[in-house]
């Protein structure tokens, strides 16, 4: 069994039995931040295990780093983040 995050059908991995090591960027969903909803609290920045979030006027996702893990979605009390297909 792969050790995927179990976040959905994207995280199944190749099934080699060696674990997927989070290498799911090509098929994983992408975190998208609603600019009108983000209150710039910064909670997601500290939560992202991939370092894919930075703070500008609002939180911004580095699309090359985001693994689609969903941690930011869960931590955002404003409901400003959603996972969407790439
Ligand atoms: S946790 Fe939500 S409201 Fe806070 S900075 Fe991140 S996206 Fe914005
Ligand atoms: S989905 Fe995961 S990797 Fe992508 S920005 Fe959110 S916490 Fe970071």
Predicted local distance difference test score (pLDDT) of residue 62: 98
Which pLDDT tens digits describe the chain residue by residue (86 residues)?
455 555 555 555 454 445 555 555 468 999 999 999 999 999 999 999 999 999 999 999 999 999 999 999 999 999 999 999 99
**Number of residues written out for the chain:** 86
The token pair at 75 is 């931590």
Predicted local distance difference test score (pLDDT) of residue 5: 53
- Domains of the chain by start residue, with CATH: 23-84 (3.30.70.20)
Model confidence, pTM: 0.74
Nearest CA to ligand 1 atom 8: 38
Predicted local distance difference test score (pLDDT) of residue 43: 98
Predicted local distance difference test score (pLDDT) of residue 27: 82
**68: CB partners within 8 A, 6+ apart:** 7, 10, 24, 25, 28, 29, 30, 31, 83
Is the distance from the beta carbon of residue 52 to the nearest atom of ligand 2 less than 6 Å?
Answer: yes
Predicted local distance difference test score (pLDDT) of residue 82: 98
Distance 5 CA to ligand 2 centre (A): 12
CA–centroid distance for 58 within its chain: 16
Is the distance from the beta carbon of residue 66 to the nearest atom of ligand 2 less than 6 Å?
Answer: yes
């Amino acid at each position: 069994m792969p050790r995927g995050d179990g976040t959905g059908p994207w995280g199944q991995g190749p099934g080699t039995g060696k674990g997927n090591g989070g290498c799911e960027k090509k098929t994983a969903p992408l975190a998208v931040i609603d600019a009108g909803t983000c209150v710039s609290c910064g909670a997601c920045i500290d939560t992202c295990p991939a370092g894919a979030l930075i703070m500008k006027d609002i939180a911004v996702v580095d699309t090359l780093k985001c693994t689609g893990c969903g941690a930011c979605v869960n931590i955002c009390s404003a409901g400003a983040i959603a996972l969407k297909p790439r």
